[in-house]
Every structure is written in structure tokens, then in C-alpha cells.
Structure 1
Amino acid sequence: MRSAKSAVGTAALVAAAGLVLSGCQDGPAQSSDLPSGNVSMIVPAGPGGGSDVAGRAVAAGLEEAADVTISVENQEGSGGALGFSNFLQYEGDPNYLISAETALIHIPATQEVEFSYQEFTPIFKIGEDSTLILVRSDSELQTCSDFVEKAEDGRVVVGFAGGLDEITFNLFEEASGAEFDYVPFGAGSESTTALMGGHVEVVSANPSEAMGQIESGDVRPLCAAAEERYTYDQISDVPTAKEQGIDVAFAQYRGILAPGGISDEARQFWIDAAKQYVESDAYDEYVESAMLQPLTAFGDDFTSYLDEYNDTVVSTVE
């Protein structure tokens, strides 16, 4: 989708409470170059959403793995741009982490902002969250092939809430030659409500945010915009778009980054803690509760993933 560029200002500095880190025995080794004093997990979104849940789950997991205390701070505003802009001020400070997802890439690609993912230090990718393409249960559409074919011949109104949905529908357009009419919403719950009310015909939604409506029978998925089918029982029979002849697969990643300019030692401290967390029952419980695909990456591998992800996003929104 062709988005107009807009300026986003940097907010005031955020004061942190003084929490003292304890020594680590089973987690990464401590040194004077590693986190000391307060450690904060910044969530660039309001409470209760996917980014907030991810940030709090990982903060708790890293506390256990690294034997530290991490406070979580929500910095809501401008679709995440406020929190990411504020995070620039912590350059070189290993006492800060930030929960990130597609918005970190999508916002700089569509708006004039001061930050980009390249300004920060990628620690690890928690997992991936591909969307389901949903219709009302009484819709005439049965597959994603039906969806794009109808748009090729006529009008299909799609609802979207954020960069992930926008990019996914853009990829459907590129793969099929179809064109959709777009209606933006502030949150996935709003677009799903509009779908059930008949105000839009198709929406894109993460499995976890739409599962209640799927299980109640109000909506049903046409396909998953994923490389492989989900293995969760409730949606394991939903085919991928590729199975239906549409070459589209795009996931929202969820990840954790540190500020740019931290030492190699501090970077490795957080990577080691993240690897230990991923091996824990707490990680498995979070992934299942959020219905993520547990596709992880650490350090340089996560950086390479973000480089490729950025290329896809930029080429899609141009």
C-alpha cells in the first residue's frame, strides 16, 4: 500500500527506577562491562497487546536465565514510533532492551523517522506469527484463490490493522494481479468486528487474536499466509496460500533488541541468556499461548533475517 510519509518527533527522556542486578551463577557470566543497576524492557505499545505480552514473557524468562531483575515499561504512541525513537537515547547502554516486531521495519519504510533497525543491536528472534486470511462464516468465498479471483473481476473490501496486514495484502496483489479496496483500523479486534458486521469482506489476523471468533463459528480462515501450515489443532487443517496456488508467505516476527553501540561482551551476555530462555518450559508455554511458530534466530543470524525482512518490506511498500 502506498503510505504518505509523516514526521515523528522524539519524546522526552524516560526516567528509570533503580533496581540492583544480582550476581549470576547459571546464566551468562557477569563483568563490569555487563548490565548493572536497573534493567528495563521497553515495550513500544500499550498494555495487553501482542508486543506487550511478548515483552513481558521474555523479560520474565531473561530474569530467570540471566539472574537479573527486569522492569517492563510501556511507551505507547504513533504505532510504535515513539518507543523506538526514545530507544535511540540509550546508545551503548546494556541495561535496556526493547520488544520489537514488524513495525520496527515498516515505520521507517513508510514514514520520516530518526530510527531504523540498523541503529539497534539484534539479540534474538522469539518466533514468527503468520496471519490467517479470514471471512465471515456465511461468505461465498471458500479459498484464497476465490478471494483473489473475485478481486480480479470485481470489488473486494479488505480490512487491515497495521503494517503486517498491509504488507500481506500487498503481496497477495503482487502475486495475483488483483487489486483490493482497503479500510484501515486501529487494531486487529476492530477489523475482525467490522468483518463480522459485514462492513468489510476479508481481513488478515494473527491466529491468537482471531481464535475466539474462529472457535465460535463467526469467522473462518481461507488460508494461512505462511511457509508451512500451523500445527495447532484448531487450525492445522487450514492450507497455506501456496497450497492454493498463490505464492505468498509473510510472517510478523517477534524479537528483542538492545541499544546500538553496546560492547561485544554485553551483546553476548544477552544472546546467551536468550538461548537459555528458549530452552525453558516458560518459552514453550509463551509460544503455545501466543500460537507462534517457534522459529528462532540469535545475534548475527537475527541481523541477517532483519536485512532480508527489510528488503521485502521496502520493495512491497514502494
Structure 2
Amino acid sequence: MKSSKILAASLVGVTALSLAACSGTSAGGGTFRAANTTMIVPFAAGGGSDVSGRTVAQGLEAATGVNITAENREGGNGAVGYSYFLGRQGDGNTLLAAETSLLTLPIAQDVEFDHTSFTPIMKLGDDYTLMVVRDDSPYTTCDQVVEAAKSERVVAAVSGSVSLDEVVFSMVEQDQGVEFDRVPYESGGEVVAGLLGEQVDIASLNPSEVVGQLESGDMRALCAFSEERYEYEELADIPTATEQGIDVAFAQFRGFIAPGGIPDDATTFWIDAAEEFAGSAEYQAYIEDNYMQPNIAYGDEFADYLGTASTELEAVFEQ
């Protein structure tokens, strides 16, 4: 989580892709011709997935010269968008802004896809969460929250049954042998409102969702569910959960995928475009503006990450 990782990411893979894109063929010399492309966002406009999808679409468009339009297909905690995308099998001109629901939906719901149904292109980075409370909360650390949950009711906000905050709270419960009550919300924005409105006691939110409230003093961060402390100045003083005796660190990945069954040269084309994007100022700004960690993976390496993370999540949801 060093700032040097961001610099390194910004230097990754600058290629001669733009020349190949102008000719309409992949950098690998194949016959795939990129045409007007759609970036499916399986969540509503305005959220983290929407920001990610539109940022990637703009970055890929700049790298390739191909017109890429973001299209929101929300519903079912992402299931509607992913199911629509499943129907685009073999279409190299459709992409999807993916995140952890790609892994949690097949585990927790009856859907017709899993991560192996699609073609992984690029993992942009990792988006960890913070446990936050109102400024007037009696809790000052995450281990105090855990201790309270052993003898009293502690109410947690969650934004869906397969959301990252549900995953993180479940992992804390399993690690510490406690149980939180839940109040479900539709989005991170509603979670923030519910916490400030005293409907819940705790929430687990991405830094970009709450940094304004932390800076204003309306909320306090008790710990970060990350492997190391953040080096971003605004977050550097927040201890990790592990430092407080809670062995939980889990991030929501952000990335993009292509449909299953696309030609090999289409896969090569989009991976080359992703590498070009990773070397841009736009990518670096996206990572820094959203307080993410630039842990990039492409193609097969991204697929390996998805397999490992899916196994870890299966253990969480089986409890």
C-alpha cells in the first residue's frame, strides 16, 4: 500500500496499441475489429461501480480510439446486469465493470453464471473498507465494538446480502465469535444516511464514500479492514483491524471483464488496451481519488485471483 505502487502502476505496459487500434486490429496481429463498444455497469448510476465503469470506458476509449459507452443495468444486487452480460457470449465489443458481486452472487443466489463464465481482462485495484461510527458514538476502536456485541445489541448497516460490508461483518463475526444485528440498505449513500440518522450503530464503508464525513467530524473511523495502514494522508492514522486483534482484511476488487467465448485476439486487444490505460494519468487519478490500492492483474493472473477469492468467500457464506 505504498505510494510507490501507484507510481509503478502508472508506468505499466505503455504499448504501441494506439496504432493497432487505428487499423481496427488487435496488437497481437489478429483479425478482431473493435467497433462501438458498450461498458455494462451492473449497478445504478452514481455509485462506485458506475464511477469505475465510466472511468475505464473513457480510458480505453483514449487508448484505442474506439467509442465506448457506459450503460447501467441495475437490479438484484448486480444479478440483472451480469445475467444480461452472460447473454453477450462471444461478443468482443461488450465489456462489464466488475466487482466482488461477481463472486458473491453465484455463492449466495441462484444465478446461471460464475466468474468462469466470463473472460477476465483487468483488475484495476483493491478497495478496502473502514468501520465507521457517528462522532457521538461510545466506541473508539473496533475491538470495543466486538466486546460490546458479546453482551448487547450492536446494529450494523449493510447494503445488500452479497455486499462487501456484509462479507466483512460476517468475517468479523466468524473471527471473534460474535453476532451483529443487520439493517439492509440499497446503497452506500443510504448507509451513510442511516448511520448519521442514528438508525444503526456501525457501518463498513469504502473510504471514498465517507472521507468527507471523516474530515467534517460527523463520523469517526475505528479501523481499516486492510492488510496494512493506508498511506493516504487523510487515512494514515487509522489502525488496521488486525492491530486490534481482529484478523480480518478483505477488499472489494474493481476491474473489467469481457464475455465468455470471445476470440483470443479480442482478449489480447482489450488486455493491451488495459495496459495502456494503466499507464495513464487518468488511471492514477482514479486510484488516488478513490483511496484504492493499485494491485493490478491482467488476463490469467486476474482469473487466478478470482478463483482464490471465490474460495475464500465460499468459506464465509457457508458459515
Whether TM exceeds 0.5 here: the answer is yes
CA offsets per residue over residues 215-259 of structure 1, 9 Å max, x none?
111110000001111221111110110111110001000010000
Question: Shift of the alpha carbon at 1:45?
Answer: 1.3
The answer for the alignment partner of 2:267 in structure 1 is 267
Q: 1:103 maps to what in 2?
A: 101
Paired amino acid for 2:151: D
1: distance between equivalents of 2:175 and 2:105?
A: 23
The residue number in structure 2 matching 1:72 is 70
Q: Unaligned stretches of 5+ in structure 1?
A: 1-21
Q: What code does the residue aligned with 1:267 have?
A: T
Q: Match for residue 279 of structure 1? A: 279
Return the offset for 1:115: 1.6
Structure 1 distance, partners of 2:188, 2:121, is 27
Structure showing greater relative contact order (alpha-carbon pairs closer than 8 Å, 6 or more residues apart)? 2
TM-score by length of 1: 0.89
Distance 1:241 1:146 in 2: 11
Alignment-mate amino acid for residue 290 of structure 2: A
Q: Secondary structure at the match of 2:234?
A: helix
Give a deviation string over 1:10-60, Cα, whole Å, max 9, x none: xxxxxxxxxxxx9437x9527563243321111111211111110110111
What letter is aligned with 1:312? Answer: E
Larger mean Cα displacement after TM superposition, 260-269 or 128-137: 260-269
Q: Tell me, yes or no, if structure 1 residue 185 matches structure 2 residue 185.
A: yes
For residue 208 of structure 1, what is the amino acid of its counterpart?
Answer: S
Q: How far apart, CA to CA, are the structure 1 residues paired with 2:33 and 2:152? A: 57
List per-residue Cα deviations over 1:243-280 (Å, max 9, x = no partner).
11110001000010000011222111111111111111
Query: Map of 1:1-318 to 2, 5 A cutoff?
Result: 23-24=21-22, 29=27, 33-162=31-160, 163-318=163-318
Paired residue for 2:16?
Answer: none
Count of matched residue pairs? 297
Structure 2, unmatched stretches of 5+, are 1-19
Native 8 Å contact 1:46 1:76 kept in 2:
yes
SS of 2:182 mapped into structure 1: strand
2:8 corresponds to which residue?
none
Partners of 1:288 and 1:275 in 2: CA distance:
18
Query: In structure 2, what residue type is equivalent to 1:110?
Result: A
State which drifts further: 236-245 or 192-201. 192-201
Alpha-carbon contact 1:24-1:30 (below 8 Å) kept: no
Counting aligned pairs with the same residue, the percent is 49
After superposing on structure 2, the runs of 4+ consecutive aligned residues of structure 1 that deviate more than 6 Å are: none
